[in-house]
Amino acid sequence: MVTTSPTTVEHLIGGRRAAGGRRTAAVYDPASGAVTKQLLLADADTVRAAVTAAQEAFPAWRATAPLKRARVLARFQRLLDERKDSLSRLITDEQGKTLADSLGEVQRGIENVEYATGAPELLKGEHTSNVGPGIDSWSSFQPLGVCAGITPFNFPAMVPLWMWPMAVACGNTFVLKPSERDPSAPLFLAELALEAGLPAGVLNVVNGDKEAVDALLTDPRVQAVSFVGSTPVAEHVYATGAAHGKRVQALGGAKNHAVVMPDADMQGTVRALMGAAFGTCGERCMAISVVVAVGEDTAAALLAGMKAEIARLKVGPGADGDCDMGPLITRAQQEKVRGYVDQGVAEGADLVVDGRGLAVADHPHGFFLGPCLFDRVEPGMVIYREEIFGPVLGVVRVGTLAEAAAVIDAHPYGNGTCIFTRDGEAARRFAEQVQVGMVGINVPLPVPVAYHSFGGWKRSLFGDLHAYGPDAVRFYTRRKTITQRWPSAGAGERTAFSFPSSQ
């Protein structure tokens, strides 16, 4: 059975809970501000032990038939579905998002596991007979070895499930370093995988901070690293991992724009933007943080609708089933986001809705901040340039769709964007030309389903391959091409000095 310690969160190495590291960090309930657990922070020796366990498990797991690997993941998927309510509660208790939001996260993670159970089909190679006289050629996809994943606090279940299920489906072993802010859900997942029959050492979890990250990035036995987090850290992970000869995919920050055209269904657009901007308290890499309103009338109608909807939005503990938005993850994040709001006011943006004074009954010490809505935001402002990662939405006014696209293209981030319109021609032109990796048309959060791949452009992604989906198979495998010829018995052959071809 899956268990969690009521006081201390350890690591999971070689199939067992393990201590390691002398430093600790507090884990909070964001709704109350209370410390609920103490987390052991892995030191370099702890990380090395986890990598050793993964390395030792690799030969046997690599030799396991893809169908048998898939069956383990299928059992894991069933267990996940049976215990998704318990997992959702763990997420809400430590991350702060509403239970409905946590359940949605878990469901998206389950879909990624389901895709990984298709490993026998996904790993089929390519074969061509008679590429030359009596010569056949084929390719196969082979595992890399020990892989690592470094995951963020905002999706403590879904993002790990983007990574390790596909990695192990491909025959690799894995070391996961989840966020130190909400570590219980990733540990729950790992123990559930053991219960499903995943052999000890195939998946290991080390909790820690930069010391653990750098130990993974510099260990020569780690072949590949997947990362999701802020752009400065993504750059560090990519540069350090690549310098040590690793394959790296590092997904960074975002500043996602929604373009609202004059012909948009304004009521539906407002509802969509409310969830996209303020769901998970804005702590999503796909959150809409900027609306580009095309036309003054469009901006006026949008702001009126948003103000009315924000007035009805209920903020409170995520475990309260009636709440629309929970707290931020930590006191430090709360103060950081509040500082951005202060900065926006100082820069001259019009603060239409001010959530800084929000008080939640019976939770005076929770990390709450109400929704904030800015109008007349300019591209030169800090609140426009930087990723805020909180419930702050800014409105930029432009005159045309071309101006809107130019604003988006000029931003250094290129994760996600969307357009609200009834004009098919405008939508098609925008989707084709905008310099962003994921585009929604009347869809505010264009997060690809599990059998497509997730990733942005520009400074939102470092590396060549996107996360999960078909790109994950390529990331977690190496292609090997074999060319074979069996000469006929007794046939004379002449020495050839020219470069081989099919001529």
Active site residue 323: no
How far is Cα 266 from Cα 275, in angstroms, rounded to an integer? 15
Q: Would you say the C-alpha torsion 463, 464, 470, 473 has a positive or negative sign? A: negative
Tell me the Ramachandran region of residue 295: left when phi exceeds 0, alpha when psi lies from -120 to 50, beta otherwise: left
Q: Are 5 and 37 in contact (CB under 8 A)?
A: yes
Tell me the Ramachandran region of residue 134: left when phi exceeds 0, alpha when psi lies from -120 to 50, beta otherwise: left
Gyration radius from the chain CA atoms: 25
Token readout for 490 is 């007794």
How far is Cα 325 from Cα 305, in angstroms, rounded to an integer? 18
Q: Are 257 and 291 in contact (CB under 8 A)?
A: yes
Q: Are 139 and 480 in contact (CB under 8 A)?
A: yes
Q: Are 202 and 50 in contact (CB under 8 A)?
A: no
Token readout for 462 is 């470092």
106's CB contacts (< 8 A; 6+ apart) are 80, 84, 87, 88, 91, 157, 158
Q: Are 306 and 80 in contact (CB under 8 A)?
A: no
How far is Cα 137 from Cα 502, in angstroms, rounded to an integer? 12
Q: Kindly provide the residue ranges of all beta strands, DSSP E only, lying in 186-279, ordered along the sequence.
A: 203-205, 222-228, 247-251, 256-260
Name beta bridge partners: 38.
Answer: 8, 26
Q: Helix 184-195 to helix 84-95 angle, to the nearest 10 degrees?
A: 160
The active-site residue out of 170, 285, 323, 418 is 285
Token readout for 339 is 């500082």
Residues found in the chain: 503
Which DSSP symbol is given to 203? E
Q: Which residues of 401-421 are buried (b: 16+ CB within 10 A; e: fewer)?
A: beebbebbeebebbbbbbbbb
The set of catalytic residues is 285
